[in-house]
Amino acid sequence: MITLGALNQHPAIRHAFFGRQGGVSGGLFASLNCGFGSGDAAENVARNRAIAMARLGLAADALVTCRQVHSAEVIIVERPWRREEAPRADGMATARPGIALGILAADCAPVLLADPEAKVVGGAHGGWRGALGGVLDATVAAMEGLGAARGRIHAGIGPCIAQRSYEVGPEFPLRFAGEHPENARFFVPARREGHFLFDLGGYIAARLMRIGIAEVQRAPHDTVAEDDRFFSYRRACLRGEHDYGRALASIAIEA
């Protein structure tokens, strides 16, 4: 379980980026797999999510997660929902105490945000497509709609795929250049001709700072390389594994 100082600005705000250790699942999902979208047994996933919530001092039913689809869609959360009610979205915001916003990831960057003065929190699923499409901006805007001020918002970027592990094709730099001319700095040539290594966490941090939030802190990990600590979609693909677990990041306002 990882916490970041940027989000420890108020004792009423709790957060954590959970790795893969400390749960009940086995095999490819060992052990704290929190994603119902995996092929893991649903009862194991439910127990793992309850374990994670207990570490935050919250009840299992406090946790809300979305059906993440790499979009820029953001939901204002007013109450917990049942699993079958989960909306298709990649960002959430709430000012309601006792609700734990949950982001699931396995190489994408989980982003947690908080305005400690307004007691408004948010979370975003930072895959390249959603980040480029505006999910971070939309999450901050949703928080502002609940009383936050972007100049008071602190953000933590959890463990994600590192640049050294993220080879992309020649079309990627062109996609990002259209969003901002400085985005070229997040790409360096890969060993394979015409390919690049992409700094997803760096891009997300820069985009958050460009929109004027107070502070951004990144967790210094590589989900692909650290097999014993994190789940990884790319690592599973490279190994020819048919499935993978999902790690949970969560933030809540104490009830």
| pTM for this model (two decimals) | 0.98
Tell me the mean pLDDT per 10 residues along the chain, length 255.
94 97 98 97 98 97 98 97 95 98 98 97 98 98 98 98 98 94 96 97 98 97 98 98 98 94
Domains of the chain are 5-162+199-253 (3.60.140.10)
Contact 247, 17 (CB under 8 A): yes
DSSP at 23: S
Task: Give the pLDDT of residue 255.
Answer: 83
Cβ-Cβ contacts under 8 Å for 120 (sequence gap 6 or more): 93, 94, 95, 114, 143, 146, 147, 148
